[in-house]
């Protein structure tokens, strides 16, 4: 079946550093979503992207819908301890109309 | 604002026992979903309901049944629990109605951690 490859699997960074993560696939997607999951909670939507090339920001977070429609990127600038959590990408398949989740990127921030 | 409410928060079962996970949303959403989350595998769709009275299988439906009791409530039942069903279960809802974009902008509950011994 369709898969999303999310990388890196985990990151351990110093407070104040910038963070980048991405999701790639061999399939084309119509929508890209980025979620954050805090420990013990459900995922919460951060950013939604609907057009190839679209660049959208939400505070210190910036996400881009890849030109090929097969990938997406999330950047976090000037990380703070509350950025800790698991970040998931999700793509809405143009073939099946189904939402597929990446495996998640676990972020840890050292104060 | 309650959003999506799941119960229970934690549950331990013995192999072969049955149980029902409850989910309710107060956002008047049309679609509701059940996912399971396992380490390194992200979120996998078990079942979903695009509207009241309809349910459909997701990626991993075996061993589960669902009921869309009304527009607000969507329950997940394990008839005979197995250790492979040890996981964290999330209920979610979205505004989407039946159609091509059935799964975008999901709002998740806080999860049920289930252990099957």
In this prediction, residue B1 carries a pLDDT of 62
* Average pLDDT score, chain A: 93
Q: What is the pLDDT of residue B42?
A: 86
Cβ contact B104–A99 (<8 Å): yes
User: Which residues of chain A make contact with B110, given a CB cutoff of 8 A?
Assistant: 40-42
What pLDDT does residue B105 have? 81
Cα–Cα dist B61/B46, whole Å:
5
- Distance between terminal CA atoms of chain B? 35
Strand partners for A31? A92
**In which band, very low, low, confident or very high, does the pLDDT at B103 lie, cut at 50, 70 and 90?**
low
- CB contact under 8 Å between B106 and A99, yes or no, is yes
The contacts of residue B45 (CB under 8 Å, 6+ apart) are A98, A99, B33, B34, B35, B58, B59, B60, B103
Model confidence pLDDT, tens digit, residues A25-66: 999 999 999 999 998 899 999 999 999 999 999 999 999 999
Q: What is the pLDDT of residues B74-89, one digit of tens each?
A: 999 999 999 999 999 9
A45 shares contact with chain B (CB less than 8 Å)? yes
Q: How far apart are the first and last CA of chain A?
A: 40
Q: How confident is the model at residue B99 (pLDDT cuts 50, 70, 90)?
A: very low
Q: Which residues of A touch B42 (CB under 8 A)?
A: 4, 6, 88, 101-104
Q: What is the pLDDT of residue B51?
A: 87
Residue A88 has pLDDT above 50, yes or no: yes
Chain B contact for A20 (CB, 8 A cutoff): no
Per-residue pLDDT at A1:
56
Note the pLDDT of residue B98: 53
The chain B residue lying nearest A42, using CA atoms, is B110
The Cβ-side half-sphere exposure at A41, using a 13 Å CA radius, reads 13
């Amino acid at each position: 079946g369709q898969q999303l490859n999310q990388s890196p699997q985990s990151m351990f960074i110093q407070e104040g550093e910038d963070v980048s993560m991405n999701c790639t696939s061999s399939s084309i997607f119509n929508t890209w979503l980025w979620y954050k999951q805090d420990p013990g909670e459900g995922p919460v939507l951060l950013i939604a992207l609907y057009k190839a090339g679209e660049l959208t920001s939400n505070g210190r977070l910036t996400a881009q819908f890849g030109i090929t429609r097969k990938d997406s990127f999330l950047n976090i600038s000037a990380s703070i301890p509350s950025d800790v959590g698991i970040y998931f990408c999700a793509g809405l398949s143009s073939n099946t109309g189904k939402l597929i989740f990446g495996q998640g990127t676990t972020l840890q921030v050292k104060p | 604002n309650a959003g999506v409410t799941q119960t229970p928060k934690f549950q331990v079962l013995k192999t072969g026992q049955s149980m029902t996970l409850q989910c309710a949303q107060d956002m008047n959403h049309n679609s509701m979903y059940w996912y399971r989350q396992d380490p390194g595998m992200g979120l996998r769709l078990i079942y979903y309901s695009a509207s009241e009275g309809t349910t459909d299988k997701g990626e991993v439906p075996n061993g589960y049944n669902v009921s869309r009791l009304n527009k607000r409530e969507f329950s997940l039942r394990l008839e005979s629990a197995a250790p492979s069903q040890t996981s964290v279960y999330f209920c979610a809802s979205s505004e989407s109605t039946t159609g091509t974009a059935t799964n975008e902008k999901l709002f998740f509950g806080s999860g049920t951690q289930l252990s099957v011994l």
